[in-house]
Amino acid sequence: MDATTGVSLELDDIQAGALYERPSPYVGTYLLLCIRDRRDGRELVRRLRRLVEPATAVGPVGETSVTVAFTYRGLEALGVPQASLDSFSPEFRQGMAARAAVLGDTGESGPERWEEPLGSPDVHVAIAVLSPDETQLEQVAVRAREAHAELPGIELIWRQDCHQLATGRTSFGFKDGIGQPAVEGSGRPPTDPRERPLKAGEVVLGYPDETGDLPPMPVPDVLGRNGTYVVFRKLHTKVAAYRSYLRARSATRAEEDLLGAKMVGRWQSGAPLALTPDEDDGELGGDPRRNNDFGFGDDPRGFKCPVGAHARRANPRDALDHEGSVDVRLHRMIRRGTSYGPPLPEGVTDDDGIDRGIIFVFAGAHLKRQFEFVKTQWLNDGIFIGAPLESDPLVGPRDGVGSFTVPQRPIRRRLQDLPPFVVTRGGEYCFAPSLSALAWLADLDT
């Protein structure tokens, strides 16, 4: 029971990695497996079950975790009864590739150009192993590999390693993972003191959500309860193009940093523009007690932080309170992203052809009104910010080129010819079941 909220989350049944932050620094690996034989699939789940820690077993941030999730096809391959399969959310049943046009994954980001086997029907099981160091990672990764060794009906079809860059930042140079909502009953306090923790049912199935209702939950109860939907996306970042774009439009290095910060809504250190609009403040950026303690209510026109900046679009905070039509709390996102690939060396503006970017991970009870809503309505579309033709300057999809408005006095600055800086390499909608559901899946006898 959470002493502050009175909510009792069954932490001993929830996968730790689905509920809690990854360590920092971290190293990790993502594995995708295909189940070619049902019996081997169930044996795999039985073995994986022993590797997954419940949320009660981990202390504050910093420990190794193994998270196991399944695609719709994966549950099908395990022999989950049809009535049960039909009870999952429609988006999950369709899978991410089928939702590509809705999500803006077209052209260079289209599923026909995704990295194999991402988006294919062969993706059944997704495993994420995240650890504070290589030694612990290797110990657990060996056990994860053993879980599918000697099971001829299981094939490892994809592996992606990730690691925190030495700078502690992501490939574009920004600190990430700061803006996160707290969850009632999780035992972790909010980092934004103005935001009440979200009702548990926004993240974990089987509990009331912000609407006061229980979110639709897959049946039977043992399969759905204490589970959560997980989105993963491999997002390639065009760092050289991003740097060149800013350089060509800036007279000085300071102006370049400012334009970059205007696009993100935070400075590279993580310091929010809302608190320090004119210059970076490294101490503020690195201070978890202060770097998420802000709103946009006093800056409706975006002179400090543009209304079109990435982090403001993704979480408009109190800026939408006056509108009355949209409740921001229904569209909050738990992010568990990591970085992959080496950094592009400081100052380089030529593309070296190396793949680098982010493994974007979302966890939540509502694929459609959380992940898909934020991605389509707030990041891809400009209507809600009053600029119908503008998509998110950093991660928005663009057919050709776009623009980005920086409100300033006496006249706003409009950046033109904005190319896409992020390309989707693939991804999938998954379901991370509870520990008891993993046991149930392993014991299926259909």
**Residue ranges in contact with ligand HEM by CB under 6 A:** 170, 172, 174, 176-179, 235, 237, 264, 266, 310-311, 314-315, 333, 335, 357-358, 360, 371, 374-375, 379, 394-395, 422
Nearest residue (CB) to ligand HEM, 206 versus 343: 343
* Cβ at position 364, least distance to ligand HEM in Å: 11
Name beta bridge partners: 230: 363, 430
Which two structure tokens, joined as six digits, stand for 256? Answer: 């370049």
| Of 244, 242, 237, residue with least CA distance to 355 | 237
Alpha helix positions (H), 192-289: 221-224, 239-248, 253-264, 282-285
| Of 330, 310, 332, 325, residue with least CA distance to 380 | 310
* Cβ at position 315, least distance to ligand HEM in Å: 3
In this structure, are residues 213 and 219 in contact, taking their beta carbons and an 8 Å threshold? no
* Cβ at position 34, least distance to ligand HEM in Å: 26
* Cβ at position 78, least distance to ligand HEM in Å: 29
Which two structure tokens, joined as six digits, stand for 6? Answer: 């009175």
In the block, tokens 């999500």 appear at 103
In this structure, are residues 417 and 401 in contact, taking their beta carbons and an 8 Å threshold? yes
Nearest residue (CB) to ligand HEM, 143 versus 163: 163
Nearest residue (CB) to ligand HEM, 14 versus 422: 422
| Of 35, 48, 43, residue with least CA distance to 140 | 48
SS3 417: strand
Dihedral-angle region of residue 236 (phi above 0 means left; psi in -120 to 50 means alpha; beta otherwise) = beta
Q: Nearest 10 degrees: CA dihedral of 89, 91, 92, 98?
A: 160
Separation of alpha carbons 399 and 240, rounded Å: 19
* Cβ at position 305, least distance to ligand HEM in Å: 10
* Cβ at position 421, least distance to ligand HEM in Å: 8
* Cβ at position 239, least distance to ligand HEM in Å: 10
Nearest residue (CB) to ligand HEM, 49 versus 360: 360
Separation of alpha carbons 247 and 254, rounded Å: 10
Nearest residue (CB) to ligand HEM, 158 versus 296: 296
Nearest residue (CB) to ligand HEM, 89 versus 237: 237
Q: Which residues, at least 6 apart from 221, have a Cβ–Cβ distance to it below 8 Å?
A: 206
* Cβ at position 89, least distance to ligand HEM in Å: 17
Nearest residue (CB) to ligand HEM, 225 versus 310: 310
Nearest residue (CB) to ligand HEM, 3 versus 166: 166
Nearest residue relative to ligand HEM (C-beta): 179
